Amino acid sequence: MTIVVEQLALGGEGRTVMVKDTIDIAGYPTRASSRALDNAPAASCHADVVQALLDSGCRITGKTSLHELAFGTTGLNAWVGTAENPRYPGRVPGGSSSGSAAAVAAGLADFSLGTDTGGSVRVPAACCGVFGLKPTFGRVSRAGVMPAQTSLDCVGPFAASIDLLIEAMEIIDPTFKALPIMDGVRIGVVPVQAEAEIQAALDSVLEASGFPLDVAPLPGMQAAYDAGLKIINRETWEGCGHLVETGLVGADVAARLLAARDTTDAELRDAEACRAVFSAEVDAALARCPILALPTMPSYPARVAEAADARAAIGMTAFVRPFNLSGHPAISVPFEGPSKLPVGLQLIAAKGADELLCAVARELVRRLEQ
């Protein structure tokens, strides 16, 4: 059960951090937990976020495992091994940033970094019972992060507490400002089809938080999900498709890549049109309520034994992928359902309002702890 694929000891004596192995660290290869990249050359320089960690005095203690090539939602990996879910043994750790979420859940690091193209920070955060943030698209530098070209992917932190998550953002995002005052914040609850226990748990959380609540429908969610999948398929094929020829890519990921190859230019144009429409829809909802709320996942994380088919598990991203398409910042806040299994509350804010998003998450947690 592999969480750490490379033990490191870089930097100062500050916060301990682990980094997903799609993020370059000078002197070490970036393998993305793929046998096809086993002989990859060492990175020649640090990714910008790694340099930011080192400049702040953090100590980088390891590179973490992931769903191979960051192209899957369960975190299962036959080559390096699947990261164990420390808080919910036997359940999938979520993907693709499985090792980064598990490292925080296991107490191996103060915080960790993952990447989120279609839910790959928020889903493992929800599965492992920790906080995970996808910043506004483009806000945190992706220089030195795999894949080099993307219109969806974001570097984001995991932490066991909201305060550590905020500290992580202050380190990796030089534009991150002091958290704002939350006068008059209303939360718009997005109606979705989630399992009854999930919905009941989060309804209870939102009611107990004391924030004024409105209903905020997003009728374009399903179309945005489908469009986001088309774009991630095309962009992942363009970035990683050549590796299929090695014969070393795992069967599940190779099959998804070969299917992704068939994404047409017409489908991509339609997806980009959907991006504009859905982004405007979310912006309009946020103009009425500055925070939107919905489950991170529609159900509890699957058991590892039942999650071998990555295509069957792709529905795990039903509520997260649309916000990669739109580019809005999103955070997953950990709770538990009646079955004592993990439930994530996903909060969404306007583009660039990452500070407000973190402030509301912190205040919500504070109120519930009183």
Per-residue pLDDT of 47-89, as tens digits, reads 999 999 999 999 999 999 999 999 999 999 999 999 999 999 9
Q: Is the pTM of this model over 0.95?
A: yes
Query: Which distant-in-sequence residues (6+ apart) come within 8 Å of 181 by Cβ?
Result: none
Query: So where are the chain's domains?
Result: 4-369
Could you please state the CATH topology (level 3) that the domain comprising 4-369 is classified under.
Answer: Amidase signature (AS) enzymes (3.90.1300)
Cα–Cα distance between 56 and 312 in angstroms, integer? 42
Would you call 351 a catalytic residue per the annotation? Answer: no
Residue 91 has what DSSP assignment?
B
Task: Find the catalytic residue in 33, 98, 120, 279.
Answer: 120
**Catalytic entry in 34, 65, 96, 209:** 96
Q: Verify whether residue 65 is a known catalytic residue.
A: no
Report CA 177 to chain centroid distance, whole Å.
Answer: 22
Tally the C-alpha atoms within 13 A of residue 364's C-alpha that lie toward its C-beta.
31
- pLDDT tens by residue, 234-269: 999 999 999 999 999 999 999 999 999 999 999 999
Share of the chain above pLDDT 90, in %: 95
pLDDT at 182 over 90: no
DSSP secondary structure, 307-346, as one string: ---TTTTGGGGTTTHHHHHH---EEEEEEE-TTS-EEEEE
For residue range 109-142, list pLDDT tens digits in order: 999 999 999 999 999 999 999 999 999 999 999 9
**Catalytic residue at 177?**
no
Q: Are residues 172 and 140 in contact, defined by beta-carbon separation less than 8 angstroms?
A: yes
User: 300 by DSSP, 3-state: which?
Assistant: coil
CB 230 within 8 A of CB 260: no
On average, the pLDDT of the chain sits at 97
Separation CA 321–CA 183 (nearest Å): 30
Distance CA 36, CA 45 (A): 22
What Rg do the C-alpha atoms of the chain give, in angstroms?
19
Q: d(Cα 235, Cα 321) in Å, to the nearest integer? A: 15
Q: Is residue 347 pLDDT above 90, yes or no?
A: yes
Peptide bond into 89 cis (omega under 30): no
Distances (CA, A) of 299 to 194, 249, 310: 6, 29, 16
Q: Which two tokens stand for residue 178?
A: 């002091």
Helical (H) or strand (E) element with 255? helix 251-260
Distance from C-alpha of 333 to C-alpha of 351, rounded to nearest angstrom: 19
Q: What is the pLDDT of residue 310?
A: 57
C-alpha span between 252 and 330 (Å, rounded): 28
Q: Which of 363, 368, 369, 334 is nearest to 184 (CA)?
A: 363
Convert the pLDDT of each residue in 274-326 to its tens digit: 999 999 999 999 999 999 999 999 999 999 988 876 555 768 999 999 999 99
User: Who's near 117: CB < 8 A, 6+ residues apart?
Assistant: 70, 96, 150, 152, 153, 154, 232, 236, 324
Cα-to-chain-centroid distance, residue 274? 22
